[in-house]
Structure 1
């Protein structure tokens, strides 16, 4: 399995990160994409630091990194932050830009036009380095507004690059996912897909092509059933694979294998010469 989205630099892991990664490896997690947003631009390098710290360490997953400025901190995306992002995306361990996008859920977030401008600027930087992007999208309550705006920006500004990316922790409508797939994106499902009231997410799991899906934890957030309410960790991505398998009528092992193939195909990270890219 691959956990395609985890915040390994979270201070909630400061005391037991070694043990957490060991449990992930024992659970069958082959690799983790450590999301490099930190607490804002000043700390978005921490995911890369962790990837390098554990490189070559036995009995832990392979760790890749991303870098980006989350829409909740996008008002901090000044020239220094852009320069830092540009520098980080030059590093080979940093395989994606993100998570970036739009978040209309919290009224205290930056105005929408500021978020859109920051999203555009980061897409420009990612395109210059030919790195896929990881999308965060959260609409205001009872609306699809952020999804509609995100897909409009992606169609105008990202689709022409052909670089694709990931819709992280998908909660939109099926037509949003299908539109993004047409742009070269994969759709990633997190622990909330296991929740009893998350049938619309499972409906998307059922409707979309399996070859365009990923699984993730968003750890330390969104712990899946039966661990809901606890600190999430990458080992529990197995519960998302189990849910995906149930929805698709396949084994959890096949769900894990197929989503692992999809990850390697997007990021061209496969080490198996027989794995198609």
Structure 2
């Protein structure tokens, strides 16, 4: 019924509890999950989950905040993208949030390495025609610009993809949709102070929506502040159903179909 399109089940707080999490997923009717890679070093563990369970899939990529670990080449990404049950490139993108605190006072100009890494991921995704899983935080202008410059302009798309854990404005959502991309919402959608985001969700067409947990982060209400896991994704679906004025079953059906259309079109 439900598909969690973005989770980090290889992280220690989740992988150590994988059996009860899978039981909770079954009880909550969460049939499938996409396990997201954030470093090249963790790829083997992420891929191992996908090859061990027939309702898990994997991605390959390096998160924009990652520093001091292996920097991937296009060839590195393509080699892993060719493996069974690897269905997307990412998590990739740009993150300019908290320049003073989180990035040691560096400027946006100092983050050219992020932009080059993003281009590497886009080029790999276009080469293997697998979708991108995009993280963008306080960087939407550059994220959209680079996608266009690399050919992902809505007309020349060979990759496509999703803007995951969307927290941007309706204008950014419209631009992403115009490029042919999907929009995914997380537990943030349920937060009391997230009315602006719910307004954005109301705008996004049903055939371009995905739902996710981004677990272990961002647990939805009523579990906010606790460790998140894929069995909580129905709470995101329920909030989306309320926003859209449809049944939760309709959201489950639409978002699962969208997952198939985006991610499983090239499954080996």
Question: Do these two structures clear the TM 0.5 threshold for a shared fold by scoring above it?
Answer: yes
Q: Name 2:127's counterpart in structure 1.
A: 128
> Matched residues in 2 for 1:186 and 1:26: separation?
28
Q: Name 1:155's counterpart in structure 2.
A: 148
**Count of aligned positions:** 256
TM-score (normalizing by structure 1): 0.87
> Matched residues in 1 for 2:225 and 2:94: separation?
26
> Matched residues in 2 for 1:22 and 1:229: separation?
22
> Matched residues in 2 for 1:75 and 1:184: separation?
33
Counterparts of 1:50-199 in structure 2, within 5 Å, are: 50-55=49-54, 62-73=55-66, 76-78=69-71, 82-107=74-99, 108-109=102-103, 111-139=110-138, 146-157=139-150, 158-159=152-153, 160-199=156-195
Q: Once the two structures are superposed, what CA deviation does each residue of 1:89-140 show, in whole Å capped at 9, x if it has no partner?
A: 111301000110001114344832111011001111121111100000111x
Structure 1: state its 5+ residue gaps. Answer: 56-61, 140-145, 272-277
Q: CA deviation at 1:41?
A: 2.1
> Matched residues in 1 for 2:84 and 2:170: separation?
34
Q: Name 1:203's counterpart in structure 2.
A: 199
Q: Name 1:23's counterpart in structure 2.
A: 24
Q: CA deviation at 1:77?
A: 4.9
> Matched residues in 2 for 1:251 and 1:270: separation?
30
Tell me, yes or no, if structure 1 residue 259 matches structure 2 residue 255. yes
Higher relative contact order by CA 8 Å / sep ≥ 6: 1 or 2?
Answer: 2
What's the secondary structure of 2:227's corresponding residue? coil
Contact 1:74 1:115 in 2 (8 A): no
> Matched residues in 2 for 1:204 and 1:75: separation?
36
CA separation of 1:156/1:74 partners in 2, compared to 1, >3 Å: closer, same or farther? Answer: farther
CA separation of 1:259/1:14 partners in 2, compared to 1, >3 Å: closer, same or farther? Answer: closer
Q: Once the two structures are superposed, what CA deviation does each residue of 1:171-206 show, in whole Å capped at 9, x if it has no partner?
A: 111111111112121100000100000111100111
What's the secondary structure of 2:214's corresponding residue? coil
> Matched residues in 2 for 1:93 and 1:130: separation?
14
Q: Once the two structures are superposed, what CA deviation does each residue of 1:38-72 show, in whole Å capped at 9, x if it has no partner?
A: xx3212232111111223xxxxxx10111100001
Q: Once the two structures are superposed, what CA deviation does each residue of 1:61-88 show, in whole Å capped at 9, x if it has no partner?
A: x101111000011564535x65432221
CA separation of 1:121/1:92 partners in 2, compared to 1, >3 Å: closer, same or farther? Answer: same
